Amino acid sequence: MTSNGIMMSCPGIDGVLVVEGNDLGAEYKPYGSEVSMPSDKKDELLNKHPGDMDIDNAKDALEMELIRKEVIGKGVPYLGLCRGSQMLNVAMGGTLYFDVATEVQTSVKHIDYDNYDGYRHKIDVVPETPLAGWFEEQYEAAGRKTFELQVNSYHHQGIRTLADNLEPMCFCQDGLVEGYYDTTQHDPAQGKYRVGLQWHPERMLSDYAGCARVYQHFVEAAASHRRLILEREKKVTRMKIVGQAVVHVNPANKHHHVRRDLTLRTDSRHE
């Protein structure tokens, strides 16, 4: 089934969650014009990250369709993790590093195949952002100033430039953006949530209470998004009673009898 066919079979999407996967295909121009990687270096990277650098065209097409039509087009709440954070940034006009270790002068490992799930590195969380609020225990302990978290890391690519309206919520110590949110789309109670994290909070639920709150606020936004849609549909769908005068002639008494038929009609016109 094509990506469009899958979309047609899933009406009424309340939230979109995009997680890990392979590198995004070149047709989406994820690197802008800023990357110039020698072919021998690409071969070296392919040997180092074989699973990541195999492009999955079907996955790319489906997820980009969801992001463009549902998230950007209709305002459906979005949570992007790892590749999912990179995809939204690209869809909105941002760019990526082809390979962080090659293009960024850093001593920080962003993937450790020898300690895959156990590896952590530090990030600095920006005050007065949704992420700071979700990790309120650490935020309060730091006097509501910048504070550190230890997060997992499974990526060799990363965000080079953030798209318009996206604001960073946390940075790795080498300056790489590790999380962001859309400042125009953040009010979970009103169905607005557009967040990208380079790390996986679902694999750190025992590390910090804030990891669960990332999802709780996403689910709240999805539920609110559906509630508001139903409220709008209820408002614009009115049941109108239309009176129709019908004249009946009785030949026996030659009296005209006027009867009013009541017709129930659904009017779905939008205001």
Of the ranges 57-71, 160-174, 234-248, which one carries the lowest mean pLDDT score? Answer: 234-248
At residue 27, does pLDDT exceed 60?
yes
State the pLDDT at residue 45.
Answer: 81
* C-alpha to C-alpha distance for 121 and 52, rounded to whole angstroms: 20
The one catalytic residue in 63, 70, 82, 155 is 82
202 is catalytic: yes
For 40-58, how does the pLDDT look when each residue is reduced to its tens digit (9 = 90+)?
A: 777 788 788 877 788 899 9
Burial of 31 (0-12, 13-18, 19+ CB in 10 A): buried
Distances (CA, A) of 154 to 20, 109, 113: 9, 10, 9
Residue 175: CA count within 13 A, CB half-sphere: 9
Q: Give the integer Cα–Cα distance in Å for 127 and 146.
A: 6
Q: Which amino acid is at 17?
A: L
**Phi, psi at residue 39, to the nearest 5°?**
-60, -35
Q: Which residues of 233-265 are buried (b: 16+ CB within 10 A; e: fewer)?
A: eeeeeeeeeeeeeeeeeeeeeeeeeeeeeeeee
pLDDT-derived band at 260 (thresholds 50, 70, 90) equals very low
Active site residue 248: no
Q: Worst-scoring range by mean pLDDT, 73-77, 164-168, 206-210, 238-242?
A: 238-242
pTM equals: 0.83
How many Å apart are CA 238 and CA 70, to the nearest integer? 27
Q: What are phi and psi of 117, to 5 degrees?
A: -90, -20
d(C-alpha 33, C-alpha 64), whole Å: 20
Selected catalytic residue, list 44, 65, 167, 200: 200
20 is known as an active-site residue: no
- Alpha carbons 159 and 148: distance in angstroms, whole number: 20
Environment class of residue 56 by beta-carbon count within 10 Å: exposed (0-12), middle (13-18) or buried (19+)? middle
What number is the average pLDDT over the span 206-232? 97
